[in-house]
Amino acid sequence: MSSEPEVVDRREAIRRVSALLGGVTLIGGSALLTACEKQRPAAATNSQVGDFTADDVAFLDEVAETILPETKTPGAKAARTGAFMALMVTDTYEPKDQKIFRDGMRKLDEASRKANNAPFMAASPQQRLTLLESLDREQKSYSDAVEAARKRKKAAGTGTDTSKTAEAKKGDAYLPDQRKEAAPGTDIGAATAITSDSPAHYFRMMKELAMLGYFTSEVGMTKALRYVETPGRFDPCVPYTPGEKSWAPHA
């Protein structure tokens, strides 16, 4: 049997998660497709994954659960999303992005200690949520600034990019006041210019991997989404009631 349908489904899942995150390409690119097709026992357990210890995986599980908590449907921990995140970083990220992600775990924990006088794992659910909401606003402003810088660079048709040019100064203008004052979870202050070559924000990586892991898992597809394993006839138009679950891509 051809494996092409599976490849298409993974690509569609990545496309949908990218759309949920504002249309920005996910870190890891096409390597995510290859890694998604691998059958790895480590992705289904909370044991060590690559250089990520069991404690690291548990930490990522709690980050993902804060982003996608249990409600009427199971949350991210039920899908073992932390192990998925660790596996994707290990298998698909370039070394420089792996470092940003790992350093980001440390920054997130330090931000929790500063804001809550407790490490992230010891913080209350509300404290965790408040912290991650702050980091999400930060990464959104940062990512928008990087994307704007890339569009300007493309429009200008230049093949080079230097720091503290007019482009960099425009990038700085996108920073919210709290980021210019070194917001919790980041060591980048006002003196750091945002250019088209600026690296991805670590919380952007965490959020997109949490969403990708959850919505491509059995739990996410069958509990949070509506899933039909073997579709029937083709219906190009079906009634939709606001609030209904989206249909899961066939896998």
24, 143 contact by CB (below 8 A)? yes
The amino acid that residue 42 corresponds to is A
Determine the Cα–Cα distance for residues 113 and 36; give it in Å rounded to an integer. 34
Mean of per-residue pLDDT scores for the chain: 77
Q: Name the E strands within the chain.
A: none
pLDDT grade for 185, boundaries at 50, 70 and 90: low
DSSP string over 13-34:
HHHHHHHHTTSPPPTTTTHHHH
Alpha-carbon span 222 to 208, nearest angstrom: 20
pLDDT at 77: 95
Question: Is 251 exposed, middle or buried, given 0-12, 13-18 or 19+ CB atoms closer than 10 A?
Answer: middle
Residue 246's pLDDT is what? 78
What pLDDT is recorded for position 159?
A: 52
pLDDT at 180 over 50: no
Structure tokens at 143: 């990512």
Residue 7 has pLDDT above 50, yes or no: no
216-251 per-position pLDDT tens digit:
888 988 888 887 776 666 666 777 788 888 777 654
Per-position DSSP letters for 57-104, written without gaps between them = HHHHHHHHHHHS--SSS--GGGGTHHHHHHHHHHHHS-HHHHHHHHHH
Nearest to residue 131, comparing CAs of 76, 62, 72, 75? 62
Q: Where are the domains of the chain?
A: 4-224
- The encoded tokens of residue 30 equal 């096409």
Tokens matching residue 62: 């709690």
pLDDT, tens digit, 9 for 90 and up, residues 209-224: 999 999 888 898 888 8
Alpha-carbon torsion (116, 172, 141, 217), positive or negative: negative
Mean pLDDT along residues 50-66: 95
Q: Please name the residues in contact with 143: beta carbons below 8 A apart, sequence gap of 6 or more.
A: 22, 24, 200, 201, 204
Q: Which of 3-12, 97-106, 135-144 has the weakest average pLDDT? A: 3-12
Could you tell me which residues come within 8 angstroms of residue 4 by beta carbon, excluding any fewer than 6 positions away? none
Q: Position 144: which residue type?
A: D
**What is the pLDDT, as a whole number, of residue 209?**
94
* Contact between 26 and 18 (Cβ < 8 Å): yes
